[in-house]
Structure formats: C-alpha cells, structure tokens
C-alpha cells in the first residue's frame, strides 16, 4: 500500500490531490477562509489551482481527506530551504478539516502525511503558522509536540506593495529564474 493512500480501517482516507480536484480544494479553501474570518480575501480559482498544483511547474503539494467519498479536509504545503541546515524543508500553508468532521483523527492524519512526506525525502524540518486566536489549533499542534517560535515575527508583502516591485524590476532581473 502506498504510504500516501492512507486508510487503515478508518471511515476516512488521505490521498494526494490530483488534476480534477481543483473545485473540491477551492471549496475547502473557502471553508478555511470562512473559519478564519477571511472569506473576502479568497481570489483563487480552479484554473489557478490547476496551473500551480498540477501544471508544468507545480509549486505546492496537497493532500485531500475523504470521508465516505466526500472531501472533508486538506493540507497544502510547499518546499522551503534552510540555509542553516543546508537542507530543504516543507512549509505547511494550510491544514483544514470541515468542522463537523473534526476530532476523528483526520487533521492528525493530514499533518502526519506532510511530516512523512518531509521525512522520507530527508528534509530538515516542517514549519507553519497559526493565527494567535486559534486556540483549538494551537492546542492540537502542542499535542503533536510542535513548538512555537516566539522569537520570530512573520512579515508579508503583497498586493500593491508587491506590484511596485514588479514594475520597478529591470528586465534582466525579471528574466532570471530564482529556483
């Protein structure tokens, strides 16, 4: 049995997302955004998800949780790199389980699938962020043995601030592939 086709006599299974799952992923993303009170920020489309998850240059991986044939959760992550470790890692962007399916081990199975993905590839770490008010998630991560990094503050540049750099970059800088 493939490690990423997890179903050990449980009513749910975890599997890698594949082409055709874009609409299901988007519905789950919208569910996460509703939970986080950020629904107005979702601009993703099935076409964008298809291009960036399953296209010629996939930039992220995703796993879906299914319960009796219904999509009830997902994890989405992308590769990072630690200069100190000299190794790649995984950044877990999102982990979400539909509220009525929580407390059944689905979230744990999803995040452990990400951990296994990283460990099997020899990656150095898995990192993620959690909203400060999300006490249930913080308690869940604590139970897994994860430790909060109190000494770090996350920064973000997006929207018009990022657009400023798009228009001010020289042609030679734009044509360089940063991968």
Annotated active-site positions, please?
Answer: 141
Residues 6+ apart with CB under 8 A from 92: 75, 76, 77, 111, 114, 126, 127, 128
Classify 40 as helix, strand or coil.
helix
Give the C-alpha separation, 88 to 66, whole Å.
29
- Beta strands, E only, the chain: 12-16, 61-67, 70-82, 87-97, 126-128
What's the DSSP call for residue 42?
-
Give the C-alpha separation, 80 to 70, whole Å.
31
Cα dihedral 162, 164, 168, 174 sign: positive
Backbone angles phi, psi at 75, to 5 degrees: -130, 140
């Amino acid at each position: 049995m493939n490690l990423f086709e997890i179903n050990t006599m449980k009513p749910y299974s975890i599997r890698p997302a594949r082409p055709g799952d874009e609409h299901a992923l988007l519905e789950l993303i919208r569910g996460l955004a509703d939970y986080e009170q950020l629904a107005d920020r979702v601009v993703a489309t099935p076409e964008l998800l298809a291009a960036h998850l399953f296209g010629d240059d996939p930039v992220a991986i995703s796993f879906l949780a299914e319960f009796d044939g219904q999509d009830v959760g997902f994890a989405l992550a992308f590769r990072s790199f630690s200069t100190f470790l000299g190794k790649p890692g995984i950044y877990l962007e999102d982990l979400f389980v539909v509220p009525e399916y929580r407390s059944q081990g689905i979230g744990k199975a999803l995040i452990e699938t990400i951990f296994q993905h990283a460990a099997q590839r020899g990656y150095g770490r898995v990192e993620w962020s959690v909203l400060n008010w999300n006490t249930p998630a913080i308690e869940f991560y604590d139970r897994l043995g994860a430790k909060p990094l109190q000494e770090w503050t996350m920064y973000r540049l997006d929207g018009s601030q990022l657009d400023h750099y798009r228009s001010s970059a020289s042609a030679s800088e734009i044509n360089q592939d940063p991968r």
